[in-house]
Chains A and B, each alone.
Chain A
Amino acid sequence: MKNFEYIQPGSLNAVSTLSKEKFVSSHLFAGGTDVLGLMKDNIISPDRLINLKNLPNMDKIVYKKGEGISIGTLVKISDIAENEDIMNHFTALAQAAGEVASPQLRNVGTLGGNICQRPRCWYFRGEFDCIRKGGGICYAYEGENKFHCIVGGGPCYIVHPSDTAVALTALNASIKIHSNGTMKEIPIREFFILPEDDPMKENILEPGEAITEIFIPELETGKKSAYIKLKERDVWDFMTVSIAAVADVSGSLINNVELAFGGTAPKPWYDENINKVFINSKISDLETNVKKIFNDSELLSKNKYKLQLIRNLTKRILNNFSA
């Protein structure tokens, strides 16, 4: 790694100013587990790392019954996996956090960092001048694309790697962002972007902006949530595909459901039309109904198996709600 300046500012305004300074490339830094990996692979080489750890009140979890839960951007993934309020009321997020990487990485990695981590595409991480790094083409499109997306791709075909982002998308969370002296709140379903909007970034954050908090509204009575992740190894792996659901299931009837999919698209995939297939449907009709989803997929040469996996996973998660 080349030398860089390491700063720990004490205020958000200082973070904004420092990260927008002209002629100095800056990168925000929390746990650092992804940023350091990117720097070692020479994907980024910032002149300055801005560690957020001295910012006050960003490592707190505050649950207000009937309203929802606020999780500071610096809360560690391990603390989310073990938090009782999150386990009881926002189960999908606790399950997703427990599935992230290894205990060592969960002890350091933060929620803000987890949702902002860069993709794992081997062309992006490797020595390829790919479209996400400002080059001309996506090497995965006609190359090794076993782990690439089946929807939302083009001109780049990454999948978004974050487990927690998928859970937060189903849970309809919102992201609070400090933007040059003011605060704004963005629904997570509008936070992530597709390559067709900008192939070089995964979300709407601009230089000078920083996530301060993630808020999840309390689920309506009768609704529960869950997250399931399929991976090639039993431990410490990124998702092959994953699913998060918030559902109201009584007996054999699915009254309501909101689904989010991981490992399928360049962002956590959320589509009202997929929910509609299952709302007011019977558990016994799942076999036929799952064949109605992801029919518009653009399957690549080596990732066709994902379509069957994601349909089976949908069946499994909804079945679990009725069990």
Chain B
Amino acid sequence: MKITFKLNGENVSIEVESYKRLIDMLREDFELTGTKEGCSIGECGACTVLMDGKAVNSCLVLAAQIDGAEILTIEGVNQGNNLSDLQRNFLTHGAVQCGFCTPGMILSSLALLNENPNPTVEEIEESIAGNLCRCTGYKQIIEAVKATAEMSNQKLRNQSA
């Protein structure tokens, strides 16, 4: 079946088999291998992408289900050739260690920051509750998200000053 959707800001159309999962279509057909497959059953969150702004597990969504939707993967998070503030803060805060959970972590926290520019630590914890990290112990990730929120609020204050 043919589906049409927006992928990282671009309109795309593709013929997909009914049994193809979103993650397989992203990795195999669009060669966007930043999205990782961990557990395949919706527990680890490594495959997280944003669908219409909401974090979803791309291993538990059929490609056919995203017809008409807007999908954002880690490849669409950077700004041109530059890393986004969130990505850079992940690096500077030591939130990237083995890196396997990173794309999913970034997309889950991006979904939060887009909806809530001033999250509390509890809200950050809740937003990444569906993403497992076996290296960091989560603290550095939470700090990176907090720092990003503070940076963007500082930017807003500078603009209005």
A residues bordering B, Cβ < 8 Å? 1-6, 32-33, 36-37, 40, 49, 51, 53, 78, 101-105, 107-108, 235-236
In the complex, are the beta carbons of B108 and A40 less than 8 A apart?
no
Given contacts A32-B61, A36-B62, A51-B65, whether A104 and B18 have CB atoms under 8 Å apart is no
Q: How far is the CB of B60 from chain A (nearest CB, A)?
A: 5
Q: How far is the CB of B37 from chain A (nearest CB, A)?
A: 12
- Which residues of B sit under 8 angstroms from A105, Cβ to Cβ? 42, 57, 60, 130
Q: Considering the chains assembled together, what is the distance between the CA atoms of A139 and B33 in angstroms?
A: 41
In the complex, are the beta carbons of B19 and A3 less than 8 A apart?
yes
Pick the residue among B18, B19, B127 that contacts A103 (CB under 8 A): B127
- Which residues of B sit under 8 angstroms from A40, Cβ to Cβ? 40-41
* Closest A residue to B18 using CB positions: A6
- Which residues of A sit under 8 angstroms from B126, Cβ to Cβ? 103, 235
- Which residues of A sit under 8 angstroms from B51, Cβ to Cβ? 107-108
- Which residues of B sit under 8 angstroms from A102, Cβ to Cβ? 42-43, 45, 129-131
Q: Considering the chains assembled together, what is the distance between the CA atoms of A1 and B60 in angstroms?
A: 12
In the complex, are the beta carbons of B55 and A104 less than 8 A apart?
yes
In the complex, are the beta carbons of B19 and A4 less than 8 A apart?
yes
* Closest A residue to B54 using CB positions: A107
Pick the residue among A36, A49, A51, A101 that contacts B130 (CB under 8 A): A101
In the complex, are the beta carbons of A236 and B43 less than 8 A apart?
yes
Given contacts A4-B19, A37-B41, whether A103 and B65 have CB atoms under 8 Å apart is no
Q: How far is the CB of B7 from chain A (nearest CB, A)?
A: 18
In the complex, are the beta carbons of A78 and B54 less than 8 A apart?
yes
In the complex, are the beta carbons of A236 and B129 less than 8 A apart?
yes
Given contacts A2-B19, A33-B42, A49-B18, whether A103 and B130 have CB atoms under 8 Å apart is yes
In the complex, are the beta carbons of B60 and A37 less than 8 A apart?
yes
Q: Considering the chains assembled together, what is the distance between the CA atoms of A107 and B55 in angstroms?
A: 7
Pick the residue among B17, B21, B40, B57 that contacts A104 (CB under 8 A): B57
B17-68 contacts to A, CB under 8 A, are: 17-19, 21, 40-43, 45, 48, 51, 54-57, 60-62, 64-65
User: Taking the complex as formed, is B1 at the interface, i.e. its CB lies under 8 A from any CB of chain A?
Assistant: yes
Ranked nearest first, the 7 interchain pairs of A and B with the lowest CB-CB distance are: A102-B130, A6-B18, A235-B129, A107-B54, A104-B130, A104-B57, A33-B60
Q: How far is the CB of A8 from chain B (nearest CB, A)?
A: 8
* Closest A residue to B47 using CB positions: A104
In the complex, are the beta carbons of A6 and B48 less than 8 A apart?
no
Most buried by B among A5, A6, A32, A33: A6
* Closest B residue to A105 using CB positions: B42
Q: Considering the chains assembled together, what is the distance between the CA atoms of A103 and B130 in angstroms?
A: 6
Most buried by B among A3, A36, A40: A36
Q: How far is the CB of A33 from chain B (nearest CB, A)?
A: 5
Q: Considering the chains assembled together, what is the distance between the CA atoms of A33 and B60 in angstroms?
A: 6
In the complex, are the beta carbons of A32 and B54 less than 8 A apart?
no
* Closest B residue to A48 using CB positions: B18
Q: How far is the CB of B18 from chain A (nearest CB, A)?
A: 4
Q: Considering the chains assembled together, what is the distance between the CA atoms of A102 and B126 in angstroms?
A: 9
Q: Considering the chains assembled together, what is the distance between the CA atoms of A49 and B111 in angstroms?
A: 30
- Which residues of A sit under 8 angstroms from B56, Cβ to Cβ? 104, 107-108
